[in-house]
């Protein structure tokens, strides 16, 4: 059985440079750059119009996870994604 969380290292010295660089990348580069592009898009397209696109993220994330990471996409995930798409369509209707 695979553990959900790997065992915690006994000391920080036991952690190699690659995990620290990976943490720095996720914490700074990808997150901060993502926020910069997201805020720029909100400013250009308007908060109401662009924020709804965030609800459509599972449409892009699920196929990407299935193709690149060989994740299993269950029917319940697709139902939730279709529910989010209906919310976006309903919000556009009441604009």
What is the reported pTM?
0.52
A 10 A CB-CB count for 87 gives 13
Per-residue pLDDT for 95 more than 70?
Answer: no
Per-residue pLDDT for 76 more than 90?
Answer: yes
Could you give the CA distance from residue 21 to residue 28 in angstroms, rounded to a whole number? 10
Query: What mean pLDDT comes out for the span 8-37?
Result: 86
DSSP code per residue over 3-62: -SSPPPPSSGGGS-HHHHHHHHIIIIIIHHHHHHHHHHHHHHH-HHHHHHHHHTHHHHHH
């Amino acid at each position: 059985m695979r553990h959900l969380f790997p065992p915690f290292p006994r000391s920080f010295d036991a952690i190699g440079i690659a995990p620290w660089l990976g943490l720095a990348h996720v914490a700074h580069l990808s997150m901060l750059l993502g926020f910069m592009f997201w805020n720029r898009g909100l400013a250009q397209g308007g908060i109401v119009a662009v924020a709804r696109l965030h609800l459509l993220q599972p449409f892009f994330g699920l196929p990407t996870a299935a193709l690149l990471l060989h994740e299993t996409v269950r029917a319940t995930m697709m139902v939730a994604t279709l529910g989010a798409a209906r919310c976006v369509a309903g919000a556009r209707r009441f604009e």
